[in-house]
Chains A and B, each alone.
Chain A
Amino acid sequence: MKKVFTQTALAAAIAVGSAGFTTASAETELVIVSWGGAYTASQQGAYHDPYMAANPDIKIINDDSAAEGAAKLRAMAEAGNTTWDLLDAEAPSAIALCDEGLVDEINHDKDLAMAPDGTMASVDFGDSIISPCFIPQIAYSFAFGYRNDAFDTPPTAMSDVFDLEKFPGKRALEKRPDTNMEWALIADGVAPGDVYDVLDTEEGVKRAFAKLDTIKDQVVWWTKGAQPMQLLADGEVVFGTSYNGRLFEAIEVNKQPINMLWDAQILNLDGWVVPTNAPHKAEIMEYLKFATDTQRLADQSKFISYGPLRASSAALVGKHGELGIDMAPHMPTDPVNMKTAFAYDFEWWADHKDDLAERFEAWLISG
């Protein structure tokens, strides 16, 4: 007993001593805000851990409040006390934050690493740089999953979701106008390339709502990402939209009786934005150069099925870290899955989201 006590005391003394030592060596703590759960874990594995191993004086603190990121960042900026160094944001919210001047514009070629073959970052990332503030990381998509035990002939196209006769049962859709209105129009026969031109007109909006009307009483609207997977797993719904990464996890990791329906998947982007007046601007830019290079972006796909946005990373996508399965076919950016992929127009939604969100809600109530 006494020996145990001495050992504990010794251990405690060492711990205290080393803690004192690390503080003395002026460690820099970078606060990085992301989505938590499997997603933060994938960033920890692919970016944070290797970076901290190479730079012992940097300590990265994860904050999981990206879902309220925009609101919190604005509150911090108004209070004049920004404590975040880096924020993970979806493309639309990155555009909004950039509009508000809450995040800094960056020079992609100067601030980010070149591809191994010398391609400039802005070329390597290509169209995914949707805002001068946005540092792209991954592409994810909204796609449908369906219960593979619910139908004799499985659905093959997104429009089957709108076919209640052949595919009866409830559908889980996210409670938001974007994605749903596009799907409704495509299912109604609008060519994918014309969707936003049609939505620009009053008749187009009405047409989208009319198509959604046909399945309205069979829809369960979800608001939190975990809901559709639970609904699918419980057999509450036969179709459900979700982020492809969550569907991957339910299908491959948790072995649920769910299949993926890649048709008309809607691609969205996720990336970093640097808050204006970030406390450690120089250090975080240093980190970004490392964390968004070709190898690091490819590494992330070992942990989660989201596609790296650098063209040069695509070839390096390998196998899942634990399951050992090939990740390429599970990526939204895989050529087979990309065939009918629909490109979400961020600019258009930045303009129309406020208006249509209200109309969408009014449409829901009028039910």
Chain B
Amino acid sequence: MAKKMSQSNTSSEPLKTADGVSLKVSLNRALRRRKITALLLVTPLFLFILLTFLGPIFDMLLRSVDNKIIVQVLPKTVSQLAVWDASTGELPDEAVFKAFVEDAKIAAENKTISRVGKRLNYEKSGMSSLFRKTGRKLKKFDPDKLEISYTDLVLGYDKKWAKHETWWLIQRESGKYTSSYYYAAVDAQIGVDGVQRKPDDQRIYMKLLKRTMWLSSLITLLTIVLGYPIAYLLATLKTRTSNLLMILVLLPFWTSLLVRTSAWIALLQREGVVNDFLVTLGFIGDDGRLAMIHNQVGTVVAMTHILLPFMILPLFSVMKTISPTYVRAARSMGATSFTAFRRVYFPNTVAGIGAGGILVFILAIGYYITPALVGGTSGTLLSNFIAYHISTSLNWGLAAALGTILLMVVLVLYILYDKIVGIDNMKLG
């Protein structure tokens, strides 16, 4: 046997299968076939993720820099303005005004001119009505009857056209892409003399971002503190009891978000259950009722409760796999119960804490319904403003820029987590 093998190894003749194809080729073929099958199996999922997840994210990233509207609606004006030197501080020349009248007249007839106004209004308030008004007047304007210069015609429409800043703004935003949404998202503005921070009483997004980070971290910490003992209890009790407790954990999880949030309002408000209880017991006077809702306390309490199951479930599934013999072994070797917990049990659950922590944190920074209802002014998060710009102000560019910043923050935290804890150690179940 050994002799035969060494013979075939040393022989220059390659191994062949029954049908005479070299073994190597045949194996490769089989492997390729299996790879294709595997690829076909994951294709639907891959396409699904591409279409419903990666596609929209990419679209959102694009929206935060997209600025096609101005060059589309005012093409001649944009090309004329390109040669205008704004730094002279003088208004553009007649050619620009002529191009503008021609562009704007077409735009007014196509009803696209007010879209330019709305876009520029994001940069400077007053632009929206300026363009709407000018559009209305230009619709009636007949170029053949023009007796004055185009410049005088436009300046006669509104005194804002005589402002250098108006033309400078159009020139600045005439590119296909813009960075102005990102500047707005970090509380800065582009002035004639460069980028400046907004005045202190107009800065909000960075403050909101900081607050969102801080509250989300606090909520994550609270869910760990509250969820850890519960998960431990669930994992160590007899199956029958723990199943019952599990239902108690899952029941609120299955209840509508709005119902749970409203329940907290009923509990925490000034005339609510908790305050009534404290007054009855005499802990606080009737006029000293605690303010626990419509502020940060409300947001933290309600969101901690709502997100708690997302911490308990991964913790539970990790704890379930830890054999009780580990702790017993530690104890039998003389460790106190605290040492046994700290050195043996706890390190085994870190993967669960990591998974639950990331899950809760990421959900928390995107939450907006609960903070809107119970957060008052001090408990509003950045996501509330994203929702506002998506559904009310329709400033999708700014919403996209804010969303992108939030996404970047999550990615940075994810990378940090990977560096410190290691993503391979994360266990979701």
Contact = CB atoms under 8 A, between A and B. Distances in A.
Given A71-B390, A234-B271, A367-B378, A223 B395 contact: no
Contact of A359 (B118, B202, B393, B394): B202
Contacts of A223: 372-373
B207 A354 contact: no
Contacts of A347: 129
Nearest to A353: B393
Size band of the interface chain B makes with A: 35 or more
A362 B271 contact: no
Contacts of B414: none
Contacts of B294: 220-221
A60 to B, nearest CB: 25
B207 A98 contact: no
B126 A351 contact: yes
A236 B208 contact: no
B385 A99 contact: no
B404 to A, nearest CB: 18
A361 interface: yes
B115 A100 contact: yes
Interface in A342-367: 347, 350-359, 361-367
B37 interface: no
A32 to B, nearest CB: 20
A224 B373 contact: yes
Interface in B387-403: 388, 390-396
Interface-central residue, B111, B127, B372, B385, by most chain A CB under 10 Å? B111
Contacts of B380: 361, 364
A354 B121 CA distance: 8
A137 to B, nearest CB: 21
A99 B117 contact: yes
B122 A354 contact: yes
A227 interface: yes
A112 to B, nearest CB: 20
A224 B393 CA distance: 17
Contacts of A352: 125-126
Nearest to A234: B271
A98 B114 CA distance: 8
B204 interface: yes
Interface string A148-186: 000000000000000000000010000100000000000
A236 B390 CA distance: 31
Given A236-B271, A347-B129, A363 B201 contact: yes
Contact of A71 (B126, B373, B378, B391): B391
Nearest to A231: B269
B201 A359 contact: yes
Nearest to B116: A99
Interface string B102-128: 000000001110110110011001111
B394 A74 contact: yes
Contacts, number: 95
A68 interface: yes
A99 B114 contact: yes
Given A354-B121, A354-B125, A355-B125, A100 B376 contact: no
A178 to B, nearest CB: 12
Interface in A191-244: 220-221, 223-224, 227, 230, 234-236
B76 interface: no
Contact of B377 (A101, A230, A236, A367): A367
A316 interface: no
Contacts of B392: 70-71
Interface string B39-55: 00000000000000000
Nearest to A93: B392
A9 to B, nearest CB: 37
A220 B292 CA distance: 12
Given A70-B391, A350-B128, A352-B125, A236 B115 contact: no
Nearest to A92: B392
Contacts of A68: 391
Nearest to A352: B125
A100 B114 contact: yes
A71 B118 CA distance: 15
Contacts of B390: 71
Which 4 pairs between the two chains have the least Cβ-Cβ distance?
A: A99-B114, A355-B125, A364-B377, A71-B391
Given A98-B114, A101-B115, A356-B125, 9 more contacts: A96-B394, A99-B114, A100-B118, A234-B269, A354-B121, A362-B202, A362-B203, A365-B211, A367-B378
Interface of B: 110-112, 114-115, 117-118, 121-122, 125-129, 132, 201-204, 207-208, 211, 265, 269-272, 294, 372-373, 376-378, 380, 385, 388, 390-396
Interface of A: 67-68, 70-71, 74, 96, 98-101, 105, 170, 175, 220-221, 223-224, 227, 230, 234-236, 347, 350-359, 361-367
17 contacts: A68-B391, A70-B394, A98-B114, A100-B115, A221-B377, A223-B372, A236-B269, A350-B128, A350-B129, A351-B121, A353-B393, A357-B388, A358-B202, A361-B204, A361-B385, A362-B204, A365-B208
